[in-house]
Chains A and B, each alone.
Chain A
């Protein structure tokens, strides 16, 4: 069943440029890119249990690096893209020290660090162009192929995102991923078990930053224009929300979240001027009613229907026997078990 579904998705994905027009392909590409950013954030929120509010910083430095290397130094794809990811990783190595703090301090610190990146992008006009940004990024030329057409670039993005997704899957199913989730549940317990909690969190942060950088590189070639808008707090907050909305701790979740957020933004902003409120309401609704996102809701519903199957269907009165309630609890708790591999 799952393989059929994957096959169907793969075929749709490959045929997309023929099925959709330029505008929609551009949107789908954007969803993939921002979904990747949200995925990088989710490594920390969903698996490690810490909330970084400045990841747009890594996204933006990678985008700027790639754009500047291409536009001002004509370095070509491999150097520009590689440079972008490298700079993001280096920044994550520095900013990663923030995992020394915890709780609210970590949140506010990452927020401020992300703001630094935005501030530098805005005011270091001689280097970043400030508000003018870096424009006219040429389409990427990989080997002999020039991805000039947006529909063709979509394939490059799809391949890169798919590879990253598979690598990510490997990572979160490995003992490292297991340890992260253990840290999410209880840092002190993991420390007691002999794990180097700081090293794990730091490594996760750097990997996450690097992945955000990959998304940034893809963004630079998609938008062909990089400005401080890529580094704002709003961008970071949206990345967090996408992961949560779609379903934290999953791989598809962030992409689903990205699709929803971008869908809202594009569809709603075309018609109403108050689409920011819609975004705000989505934030609020997600936190209050779908804290594990859409995939979490789906899991809950599946769990609840499984529990219903356990208790006798024709009971005259609600069955409050210990056996039934345990079964119901087991059914409901199944998706919550720590360390269980994500779908």
Chain B
């Protein structure tokens, strides 16, 4: 009911507002899944972005900022049509999003068609900053394999895994994430027992869990949305915690920790560009502000979008708010180095950030505002990681994208 009223109020207000400030405002089109398996993560992206602009008073360089959110439900088809609608109908100046890896190429397509700048804080599809680059698309997050390539090495060394089974959702992001991890894992001498793929939103992980081959020592997980919780519950229900170790390449992050049972404590949750247990001043300030407003610890979905807001604001200030000059805007973004809550960020020559990757573990902590909560603290930090890991870009590009294993 609240949503209905909110929608009606929004419709009314947006009509009035758009009539009032049609000329000078900067319109940002924001793509996120607000329904479906990724709804929670999607909500975090909206919140992170919103928090940043609120802190700026919703304006930059003297111009008011208006954010128009569209629900893509983690579906490339929806992402495509909403992106087109935002550009042609709502006349947004640039797009932020999408969330899901496979939506990335779809939105990049719209950018190619229309020339609208797109900033991608979350979607990891490797290709949009490697093989299928669109000059008007800049990633402010990370590629799928950027965060997983260090993980493969970690698995072999600190993780002491020798024969692994992987479980991943069947679309671009996990394909590439697991692909990257396996490449470095095998390079470090590890062996792969079996690779499982399951569609996003799989309700029943029973058949997969029951199919894990004997001889596996570690199970590596890259699942998204609510599949994370379902898999976690079913893992314990099947008694597999007694048999194998489970390591999340991409699994237990703050947006899902509040609902996860305390059995998640002690598990390696993710290999990511953000850990909500970071202690740097920028991180702490951000976590504090977010926790006070939303009563929750920010996940990487929130941080990536917060720092995207920061990045675009710095660039807009550099060009005195002339967002209509797309080329200048994009170049300003490229030239800006950001001190984000998650660490220092700088774009490489392929429009993807070079940044830290944190292998993180779930622990219990006492937060001044939120009380006792579960957070992820880094157990190992890789600094200055690029999307190409330790290889040369030409090498990676000639190799081609990570195929679905």
A–B interface present (Cβ within 8 A): yes
Give the B-binding residues of A (Cβ under 8 A): 21-23, 26, 122-123, 125-126, 130-133, 135-136, 223-225, 227, 229-230, 266, 270-274
Contacts known (A23-B89, A123-B199, A272-B11); A132 close to B109, Cβ less than 8 A: no
Q: Is the CB of A135 within 8 A of B109?
A: yes
Chain B 182-205 interface residues, beta-carbon cutoff 8 Å to A: 197, 199-200
Chain A binder among B1-9, B246-254, B316-324: B1-9
For residue A223, which residues in chain B have a CB less than 8 angstroms away from its CB? 77, 80
> 6 closest pairs, A vs B, by CB?
A23-B88, A229-B77, A131-B171, A132-B102, A271-B11, A272-B7
For residue B170, which residues in chain A have a CB less than 8 angstroms away from its CB? 123, 125, 130-131
Q: Is the CB of A225 within 8 A of B199?
A: no
State the Cβ distance, A87 to closest chain B Cβ, in Å.
Answer: 21
For residue A273, which residues in chain B have a CB less than 8 angstroms away from its CB? 3-4, 7, 34, 71
19 contacts between A and B (CB under 8 A): A22-B88, A23-B84, A125-B170, A125-B197, A131-B102, A131-B171, A131-B199, A133-B76, A135-B105, A223-B77, A223-B80, A225-B80, A225-B106, A227-B77, A229-B75, A230-B77, A271-B10, A273-B4, A273-B71
In angstroms, Cα B76 to Cα A130, docked, is 11
For residue B105, which residues in chain A have a CB less than 8 angstroms away from its CB? 132, 135-136
Q: Is the CB of A131 within 8 A of B200?
A: yes
For residue A229, which residues in chain B have a CB less than 8 angstroms away from its CB? 75-78
Contacts known (A229-B75, A272-B7, A274-B4); A133 close to B102, Cβ less than 8 A: yes
Interface 1/0s, chain B 59-82, versus A by CB < 8 A? 000000000000100011110100
Interface residues on chain B, number (Cβ under 8 Å): 29
**Closest A residue to B404 using CB positions:** A125
B85 at the interface (CB under 8 A from A): yes
State the Cβ distance, B282 to closest chain A Cβ, in Å.
Answer: 35
B111 at the interface (CB under 8 A from A): no
Contacts known (A21-B88, A130-B199); A225 close to B404, Cβ less than 8 A: no
In angstroms, Cα B7 to Cα A273, docked, is 7
**Closest A residue to B71 using CB positions:** A273
In angstroms, Cα B76 to Cα A273, docked, is 19
For residue A266, which residues in chain B have a CB less than 8 angstroms away from its CB? 85
For residue A123, which residues in chain B have a CB less than 8 angstroms away from its CB? 170, 199
Interface on chain B toward A: helix, strand, loop, or mixed SS?
Answer: helix
Q: Is the CB of B85 within 8 A of A136?
A: no
In angstroms, Cα B4 to Cα A272, docked, is 7
**Closest A residue to B403 using CB positions:** A126
Q: Is the CB of A272 within 8 A of B77?
A: no
In angstroms, Cα B77 to Cα A230, docked, is 9
Q: Is the CB of A227 within 8 A of B75?
A: yes
Given contacts A131-B76, A136-B132, A272-B11, 6 further A-B contacts (CB under 8 A): A122-B199, A125-B170, A135-B76, A225-B76, A273-B3, A273-B71
Give the A-binding residues of B (Cβ under 8 A): 3-4, 7-8, 10-11, 34, 71, 75-78, 80, 84-85, 88-89, 102, 105-106, 109, 132, 170-172, 197, 199-200, 404
For residue A26, which residues in chain B have a CB less than 8 angstroms away from its CB? 84, 88
Interface on chain A toward B: helix, strand, loop, or mixed SS?
Answer: helix
In angstroms, Cα B77 to Cα A224, docked, is 10
State the Cβ distance, B204 to closest chain A Cβ, in Å.
Answer: 14
In angstroms, Cα B113 to Cα A22, docked, is 12
For residue B404, which residues in chain A have a CB less than 8 angstroms away from its CB? 125-126
State the Cβ distance, A46 to closest chain B Cβ, in Å.
Answer: 28
Q: Is the CB of B7 within 8 A of A274?
A: yes
Q: Is the CB of B76 within 8 A of A23?
A: no
State the Cβ distance, A43 to closest chain B Cβ, in Å.
Answer: 27
In angstroms, Cα B105 to Cα A135, docked, is 7
In angstroms, Cα B197 to Cα A123, docked, is 9
For residue B8, which residues in chain A have a CB less than 8 angstroms away from its CB? 272
Q: Is the CB of B89 within 8 A of A270?
A: yes
For residue B89, which residues in chain A have a CB less than 8 angstroms away from its CB? 23, 270
Contacts known (A227-B76, A274-B7); A23 close to B85, Cβ less than 8 A: yes
For residue B102, which residues in chain A have a CB less than 8 angstroms away from its CB? 131-133
For residue B71, which residues in chain A have a CB less than 8 angstroms away from its CB? 273
For residue A136, which residues in chain B have a CB less than 8 angstroms away from its CB? 105, 109, 132
In angstroms, Cα B171 to Cα A174, docked, is 48
State the Cβ distance, B164 to closest chain A Cβ, in Å.
Answer: 21
State the Cβ distance, B236 to closest chain A Cβ, in Å.
Answer: 27
State the Cβ distance, B174 to closest chain A Cβ, in Å.
Answer: 11
Select the residue from A126, A132, A136 with max chain B CB neighbours within 10 A. A132
For residue B34, which residues in chain A have a CB less than 8 angstroms away from its CB? 273
State the Cβ distance, B123 to closest chain A Cβ, in Å.
Answer: 12
For residue A274, which residues in chain B have a CB less than 8 angstroms away from its CB? 3-4, 7
For residue B7, which residues in chain A have a CB less than 8 angstroms away from its CB? 271-274
For residue A132, which residues in chain B have a CB less than 8 angstroms away from its CB? 76, 102, 105, 171-172
State the Cβ distance, B297 to closest chain A Cβ, in Å.
Answer: 27
For residue B85, which residues in chain A have a CB less than 8 angstroms away from its CB? 23, 266, 270
